Structure formats: structure tokens, C-alpha cells
Amino acid sequence: MAEDKFGGQQILYLPDGATRLLGRDAQRTNIAVGVAVANAVKSALGPKGMDKMLVSDLGDITITNDGATILQEMNVEHPVAKIMVDIAKTQDKEAGDGTTTVVVLAGELLRGAGELLEQGVHPTTIIKGYKIAAEKSAEFLTHISKEIDPKDDAILQKIAMVSMGSKNIGDDKTKEYLSKLVINAVKQVMDKDPRGKIIIDHDLIKIEKKVGGSIADTQFISGVLIDKEIAHPGMPKSIKSAKIALLDVALEIEKTETDAKIEITSPEQMQAFLRQEEQMLKDMVEKIKNSKANIIITQKGIDDVAQHFLAKAGIIAVRRVKKSDMEKLSKATSGKIVTSLDDLNEEDLGFAGMVEEKKIAGEQMVFVEDCKNPKSVSIFIRGGTQHVVDEAERSLTDVIGAISSVVEDNKYVLGGGATEVDLAIELRKYSNDIGGREQLAIQKFADALEIIPKTLSESAGMDAIDTLVQLRNKHRTADGNTYGVDIYKNIIGDMQKLGVFEPIRVKKQAIYSASEASEIILRIDDMISSKSKGGGGMPPGGMPPGMD
């Protein structure tokens, strides 16, 4: 592409097949794409939201209600659609939940911006207004949030249930059971930073899944589950009071790098050579025995001969374990990962009440459990079909995120659209103090927030406009600001009483990310695409494939 000046005007030479959208056209197209992406996930919002079935080009089927997953599997090509996918991912990373919300909200902000553009409001003004509104919303969220005592399991339980609400993974009893597992797990890995602030590293909760049994067979494991089998059939299948050597060492004779030839001229020499190798392996096993370990788990390989000696010594060995699992084992058992057998001491060993190989759905897995105060734990998901197991994993990941963020921030807000209606009222009030055209943008921002109660009521089969009017009126009354959509009774209801609680971080992050995405998209007034057809470019008409 070359740039030139011609009569004071910039001329842009585009290569063959390139397309270019300028000014209002670019904005219109981008807004349409953003809105289309939001529409594609909108019907999945909330417990009454529908599931989506996604079929990949290889024919793999995913059935889910999870916003981030839906977008990821849709394989969108348009750059604006990719921005929308990115905010769902950011939301997932930062808050662990609220991925549908953030995309729906961003779509609505774009739709509102589109209306303002048509009325002749400049994009810069809209961007400025949205920024002010997002900041005000965050402030107000903190103001209306309620404090939670991280020890208060009853409230944590409610937050977990709301987070799990939309996922199709079983009845309320099952969900209650799963909530307890997650709360347990989060509390177990909870830590404090040097300033005494609670921090939770999600990676320390390992999720393993296997089809089989039912979702109610899902279990909490106070330790680590390794998707490997015990190395040798002659080894014990289980050991109580396990003393575990965690190794980053191969129990093998290193082969020489170059093709060094060893001249063997007689059978005796051959024997001697083999005996020498055997002795070296025997020595390695001897070192392990001396450390008093009765289990070894290594990231590297174990020679057959070494396996034989280990089995003879009654030691369980598991080999080629993933590095990430080794780190978890170290945290769970308080053992140290040792890189040389010469350094292996009894103090380095980890401890577990039980190490056992179990056959699960036809495959062997090693359970390292009953660890004392483990700083890494596992949740083992079971379920009747792959779809159930996969959706349960997504759901539990959301709940882990929600519970962690509420424990870290110790603040929650009300769900069911109650918070959004409150924020909208507050923003409209605030916009009156702001002169000029930004006022219009702040009002649009307020309208956009109301998409949440609107969509929730729609999915419950209620009249969305009617419900919204009722909610607005209720929120203007003295103690009506706890009201939201009671999707199970199809009326407006008190979310505080119903216990529909959500972590403040989920809402705050959704508002920030959605407004940021809409600002980025609005700022674009020139789209140059070097490909006319196919992936990566702008499809004519702007709609990504497969969207309504």
C-alpha cells in the first residue's frame, strides 16, 4: 500500500481485491456486527436462557449455555466480532463469570451508540459519555454492594447457586451439592498475600472429568488426581500413609548422544555390560529406598528394570506426569520436587493419607488423597454423557471464579436485573447534572444496562417492557431497590429475600469491558481489509457467517 499526496488530498493506493470502508459506513457495519454477535448469545442469558448447540467443522458437538464457549466455538472471522469474543475471554479471566452478560451489554451499548450517531452526535462525544457512565457505575456499584463474611457459607452457597443457575447440569439438590464442593475447594486453597489480603489461585483447584456414573458422583479430593496408571503391575495398588518422592529425574541409563560404539567381543563382556547397567538402576532404586519413600512420582521415564526393582521393594511408581501436576502434587503433599537422586532426603518427601489406583470408566487413574491441609485440591467430575461432563466443567469453573472473587473482594450485589435497574436510575439522575451532549450518551448507557432485566424477563416468557416499567416504578419507592425479575414466578420479586446474589466483580468487570469494547469499536472510522474474500477480511454486508 502506498500513500501519496495529490492536490493536498491524501490518496491511498490499495492492492487488488482490498476493500475499504470509511467514516459512517465503517461505523454502521461495525455496530451491526457487534449487535449481531450479542444477539447470537442473548437467548442464553440467565437460568431460563436456552442452550446452544454448536457443531465444529470436524463434526464435534458442544451443547452449552456459556457465553464465552458459544463465541469461541462460533469461529467468528470479522475483526469486530473478534473483539466481542475477546471481552468474553477477559471477563472469564478477570471475574470467572458473567461472560454472556458482558457481550449482551456491549451489543446494547453499540446499538445505543448507533442511534446517537444517526442523530448526529459525534463518536468522540459518545465515547466520552460512555466513559463517564462506566466510571460512575463502578462507583455506584461499590456504594450499593453489601459486605460478606468469607466464613458465611450460607451466602457463598447462594452465590454459587446463582452462578450455576443457568447451566443444565442437574436439579437443585445436585447443584447444592456441587456448590458445597466448590466452596470447600476454594477455602482449602485460600491464601494471604504479604499484606494480609486474601488471594485465591484458581490453578490450585484441579478439575478432572470422566464420563460415567452420574453428576452426583462428582467428588472433592483433598489432593491431586493424576490421569496416569501405576507403572508396573507388580507394584501395590494402594498405599496408606504414603511418603511420596516427587522427582524431576529419569530412572533410566542415559544413552550417549553420539553413536559411540561399544566393542563387545564375547558373551561374557555382554553380560558384564548388562550387569553394570542393572547395577546402576539398582543403585538408583536404593537411593529411593534410603529416603524412606514408598511412592515415587516422576515427570520423566522409568526403565523397565528399575520398575522391577521398585516393585520388588513394594514401592509404587508413576511416571511421565505433567509438570503442572507435579507442581500441584508439591502443593498438596508439601513435598519438594527433587532434580537429582543424590539430593533426595526424607524431609523432601510429600505426605498423603492414601495413594490408590482406581479403575474409572475403563481407565486407570491415580488418586493422591487425604493430604493434610493440602494447598492444592481436585474436583473429579462424573456424569452420564460427555456433554453433561463438559457443561459441568464449564459451570464449576464459573462457580470457582464467582466464589473466589467474592471471597477476595468480600462484596456482593443483587442479581435478577435489580442492580442494573438501580444503576440506570442513578445514571439518569446524574446525567441531568452534566450539560451538553455527553448527557445523551450517559442516558443511552443507562438504557443499555436495562437490557439485562429485559432479557431475563423475556427468557422467562414475560413481557419485557411491562416488567421493566414495573421494576423502574418499584425502585423509586422507599425500599423497592432490591427488586428484580423473579424468573421462576414470572413476576418482579425481592432479590434480597430470594437470595439472588452475585459477586460485585462480575458486574464491575462486565460494565468496564463492555464499555471499553464499544469505545474501541466506535473509534474506528476506517477499515481497510487486504482480502476481498475468505477468512480475516470483512464479509460484504458486514455480517459474520452464521449469525442472525
The residues annotated as belonging to the active site are 66, 99-100, 398
406's contact among ligand ADP, Mg ion, none, with CB below 5 to 8 A by partner kind, is: none
Helix (H, G, I), strand (E, B) or coil at 355: strand
In the complex, what is the shortest distance from the CB of residue 169 to ligand ADP, in angstroms, rounded to a whole number? 12
Q: Extract the C-alpha cell encoding 322.
A: 505433567
Please give the distance of CA 404 from its chain centroid, rounded to a whole number: 12
Helix (H, G, I), strand (E, B) or coil at 527: strand
Are 379 and 218 in contact by the 8 Å Cβ rule? The answer is yes
In the complex, what is the shortest distance from the CB of residue 99 to ligand ADP, in angstroms, rounded to a whole number? 4
96's contact among ligand ADP, Mg ion, none, with CB below 5 to 8 A by partner kind, is: none
Q: Extract the C-alpha cell encoding 94.
A: 478477570
Work out which of 26, 34, 46, 468 binds ligand ADP, going by CB under 6 A: 46
Instruction: With CA atoms as reference, report the closest residue to 19 among 8, 29, 4.
Output: 29
Task: Please identify, using beta-carbon distances, which residue of 41 and 427 lies nearer to Mg ion.
Answer: 41
In the complex, what is the shortest distance from the CB of residue 506 to ligand ADP, in angstroms, rounded to a whole number? 7
Are 148 and 412 in contact by the 8 Å Cβ rule? The answer is yes
Give the separation between CA 536 and CA 526, rounded to whole angstroms: 16
Q: Extract the C-alpha cell encoding 184.
A: 470447600
In the complex, what is the shortest distance from the CB of residue 106 to ligand ADP, in angstroms, rounded to a whole number? 12
Q: Number of residues in contact with ligand ADP, rule: CB under 6 A?
A: 24
Task: Please identify, using beta-carbon distances, which residue of 376 and 459 lies nearer to Mg ion.
Answer: 459
Task: Please identify, using beta-carbon distances, which residue of 47 and 114 lies nearer to ligand ADP.
Answer: 47
* Beta-ladder partners of 414: 501
Type of residue found at 116: L
Neighbour count for residue 113 (Cβ, 10 Å): 27
In the complex, what is the shortest distance from the CB of residue 43 to ligand ADP, in angstroms, rounded to a whole number? 10
Work out which of 33, 36, 37, 45 binds ligand ADP, going by CB under 6 A: 45
C-alpha to C-alpha distances, 409 to 131, 147, 401, 505, nearest whole angstrom? 24, 9, 12, 8
Q: Kindly state whether residue 100 participates in binding ligand ADP, applying the rule CB under 6 A.
A: yes
Work out which of 108, 502, 516, 519 binds ligand ADP, going by CB under 6 A: 502
Q: Kindly state whether residue 67 participates in binding ligand ADP, applying the rule CB under 6 A.
A: yes
Task: Please identify, using beta-carbon distances, which residue of 188 and 419 lies nearer to ligand ADP.
Answer: 419
In the complex, what is the shortest distance from the CB of residue 484 to ligand ADP, in angstroms, rounded to a whole number? 6
Work out which of 51, 94, 97, 519 binds Mg ion, going by CB under 5 A: 97
Neighbour count for residue 312 (Cβ, 10 Å): 12
Give the separation between CA 137 and CA 109, rounded to whole angstroms: 14
507 Cβ partners below 8 Å, 6+ apart?
A: 98, 101, 141, 413, 419
Reported in sequence order, the residue ranges of 184-270 that DSSP labels E, i.e. its strands, are 191-192, 198-199, 205-211, 219-221, 224-226, 238-247
335's contact among ligand ADP, Mg ion, none, with CB below 5 to 8 A by partner kind, is: none
Binding mask 411-450 for ligand ADP (x = CB under 6 A): ----xx----------------------------------
In the complex, what is the shortest distance from the CB of residue 494 to ligand ADP, in angstroms, rounded to a whole number? 11
Stretch that binds Mg ion, among 2-10, 35-43, 89-97, 475-483 (CB under 5 A): 89-97
With cell 532434580, the residue in question is: 339
Q: Number of residues in contact with Mg ion, rule: CB under 5 A?
A: 1
Q: Kindly state whether residue 487 participates in binding ligand ADP, applying the rule CB under 6 A.
A: yes
Q: Kindly state whether residue 97 participates in binding ligand ADP, applying the rule CB under 6 A.
A: yes
Are 205 and 401 in contact by the 8 Å Cβ rule? The answer is no
Task: Please identify, using beta-carbon distances, which residue of 97 and 494 lies nearer to Mg ion.
Answer: 97
Type of residue found at 359: K
Restricting to residues 158-177, which ones interact with ligand ADP according to CB under 6 A?
162, 165-166
Closest chain position to ligand ADP (CB): 415
In the complex, what is the shortest distance from the CB of residue 97 to Mg ion, in angstroms, rounded to a whole number? 4
Q: Kindly state whether residue 66 participates in binding Mg ion, applying the rule CB under 5 A.
A: no
Give the separation between CA 422 and CA 33, rounded to whole angstroms: 29
Work out which of 99, 145, 481, 518 binds ligand ADP, going by CB under 6 A: 99
In the complex, what is the shortest distance from the CB of residue 61 to ligand ADP, in angstroms, rounded to a whole number? 20
Give the separation between CA 161 and CA 367, rounded to whole angstroms: 28
Restricting to residues 336-375, which ones interact with ligand ADP according to CB under 6 A?
none
3-state secondary structure 290-325: HCCCCEEEECCCECHHHHHHHHHCCCEEECCCCHHH
Instruction: With CA atoms as reference, report the closest residue to 142 among 403, 412, 406, 494.
Output: 412
* Beta-ladder partners of 3: 12
Task: Please identify, using beta-carbon distances, which residue of 73 and 502 lies nearer to Mg ion.
Answer: 502
Alpha-carbon dihedral 93, 38, 160, 179, rounded to 10 degrees: -90
DSSP character for 202?
G
Q: Kindly state whether residue 390 participates in binding Mg ion, applying the rule CB under 5 A.
A: no
Q: Kindly state whether residue 101 participates in binding ligand ADP, applying the rule CB under 6 A.
A: yes
Q: Kindly state whether residue 114 participates in binding ligand ADP, applying the rule CB under 6 A.
A: no
Closest chain position to Mg ion (CB): 97
456's contact among Mg ion, ligand ADP, none, with CB below 5 to 8 A by partner kind, is: ligand ADP
Task: List contacts with Mg ion (CB under 5 A).
Answer: 97
Task: List contacts with ligand ADP (CB under 6 A).
Answer: 44-47, 49, 65, 67, 97-101, 162, 165-166, 415-416, 452, 456, 484-485, 487, 500, 502
